[in-house]
Chain A
């Protein structure tokens, strides 16, 4: 890859007059030694998996193996369809779709890790609802995934994308940044605006801890995917309106690294702190595993 930072990504994309998504496909083909068509096809297949996960989450039983979660996406959709959502139809659908994919994940259905399984609902939530709304082709959506991947590649290599390393900000936070930047490009924004969207989004999740109840990718992961998808829409809207991330997005990524590195171990996916260590969280864990954990 010829870029290490979002600034370099933006500069390359601008100087070569190509979208971030198309640039990333070229770079990927260069890196893997495989033809661009082959790499595109793989991503296009992933896109179909994402759409199928949304459909399943909205229509099938998504009760998880632990029995703790399931069917919340369907509850939200019902409210959307009654016209009762305070968010409004578009954002509420995005939220429901994100919940749907996260619930499919929790119930051992098929998903694409974006960038992880814990944050797998955000990008499909934003992408599938936006495709329906704006009528974009599958080809455009696939390039959008390459754009999201380019942003994630920079975040992952300069900071982290796993909760065990950097807390939830690294998983859900990164996914929101990726979705926000890619959506900005899909909606006709410039590479500069897309990069601002990433910074705006990441600033909103800095410090978020990873505290899954019972160590499972369920509570609070699923609802955070729902909230995260809505935040991605908001960040993209701000960037397209001309709002700038005054602290450059690359510097915000460095803050995520700083905060994640300092984050106590109990708040990094160990299920020893945060929501997992509340009286109720502990009780759930005892019921699941039949023993107390120190």
Chain B
């Protein structure tokens, strides 16, 4: 079943005008923000395909920046997000790209904080639903509908067993996972979508595992005002 529940039909609660070009864009921006882990000082957004053609008319730029400011899809401040970002001292650049992408509504977002940079590629696939297609050069996919943990680590035997062991002990059920590495024994990123949110202790335990360099949590439902 492509549509799993009643709220994928009635909902989301959102600021218009387009579930794909506005609500989906806001969710993509918010994923990038959560992966960075803090308010950025600088953001660069590149729109492709239909996003590049019509982003102004749909307020896709306002929505994605709203998401970067941690706004939910129905946050009434979205129409003012560019102004709010400026007031917050965030340097925002918006460009269009011509690269051929697998989905018409694709964006690349790069965010900088004082200590960190994150690059996220995502697509808005309709009805406010999104698909993250890549994080920091890793080809990992997730849809941000569930609590998601992104674990940066070194590629080595036993890594995934230790990681899933932590989740198992915390009673967390894994719905989907994806792993990509830059090279054998090199940097890797594991993304896990779970049926319940990740307790702080479990996150700390994962971060304490040998060869884990960073852990990021994406949980859009957790903070949304309408839910």
A contact residues vs B (CB 8 Å cutoff): 1, 4, 24, 27-28, 31-33, 39, 42-43, 45-46, 49, 64-66, 104-118, 120, 123, 145-146, 148-150, 152-153, 156-157, 161-162, 164-165, 178, 214-218, 270-271, 288-289, 293
Contact between chains at B127 and A46 (CB < 8 Å): no
| B10 CB contact (under 8 Å) in A1, A112, A288 | A112
Complex alpha-carbon distance, A24 and B5, angstroms: 9
The residues of B that contact A118 with a CB separation of less than 8 Å are 18-19
The residues of B that contact A105 with a CB separation of less than 8 Å are 16-17
The residues of B that contact A116 with a CB separation of less than 8 Å are 19, 126-127
What is the size category of the interface that chain B forms with chain A? 35 or more
The residues of A that contact B195 with a CB separation of less than 8 Å are 33
Contact between chains at B53 and A216 (CB < 8 Å): no
For residue A226, give the distance in angstroms from its CB to the closest CB of chain B: 16
Given A113-B14, A216-B58, A271-B54, the answer on whether A31 and B4 have CB atoms closer than 8 Å is yes
Chain A minimum-CB-distance residue to B63: A108
Complex alpha-carbon distance, A120 and B11, angstroms: 10
Chain A minimum-CB-distance residue to B128: A113
Contact between chains at B2 and A113 (CB < 8 Å): no
B56 in the interface (beta carbon within 8 A): yes
Complex alpha-carbon distance, A118 and B14, angstroms: 12
The residues of A that contact B100 with a CB separation of less than 8 Å are none
Contact between chains at A106 and B10 (CB < 8 Å): no
The residues of B that contact A123 with a CB separation of less than 8 Å are 10
Instruction: List 13 extra interface pairs beyond A116-B127, A218-B17, CB under 8 A.
Output: A43-B6, A46-B10, A46-B226, A49-B226, A106-B17, A112-B11, A152-B9, A152-B10, A157-B3, A215-B57, A271-B54, A289-B54, A293-B53
Complex alpha-carbon distance, A49 and B62, angstroms: 21
Contact between chains at B10 and A114 (CB < 8 Å): yes
Chain B minimum-CB-distance residue to A66: B57
Contact between chains at B14 and A1 (CB < 8 Å): no
| B126 CB contact (under 8 Å) in A4, A24, A164 | A164
B22 in the interface (beta carbon within 8 A): yes
B76 in the interface (beta carbon within 8 A): yes
Query: What are 15 residue pairs bridging A and B, where the CB atoms are less than 8 Å apart in the complex?
Result: A1-B5, A24-B6, A33-B195, A42-B226, A104-B16, A109-B16, A113-B19, A116-B19, A123-B10, A148-B9, A156-B3, A215-B57, A289-B54, A289-B57, A293-B53
Complex alpha-carbon distance, A162 and B18, angstroms: 11
B13 in the interface (beta carbon within 8 A): yes
Contact between chains at B1 and A162 (CB < 8 Å): no
For residue B171, give the distance in angstroms from its CB to the closest CB of chain A: 14
Complex alpha-carbon distance, A33 and B20, angstroms: 27
Contact between chains at B22 and A115 (CB < 8 Å): no
| A49 CB contact (under 8 Å) in B6, B13, B20, B104 | B13
For residue B186, give the distance in angstroms from its CB to the closest CB of chain A: 38
For residue B82, give the distance in angstroms from its CB to the closest CB of chain A: 12
B59 in the interface (beta carbon within 8 A): yes
For residue A140, give the distance in angstroms from its CB to the closest CB of chain B: 16
Contact between chains at B56 and A288 (CB < 8 Å): yes
Contact between chains at B7 and A117 (CB < 8 Å): no
Contact between chains at A115 and B18 (CB < 8 Å): no
Contact between chains at B6 and A113 (CB < 8 Å): no
For residue A253, give the distance in angstroms from its CB to the closest CB of chain B: 13
Given A117-B22, A165-B126, A215-B53, the answer on whether A108 and B78 have CB atoms closer than 8 Å is yes
Contact between chains at B9 and A216 (CB < 8 Å): no
B15 in the interface (beta carbon within 8 A): yes
| A149 CB contact (under 8 Å) in B6, B23, B59, B126 | B6
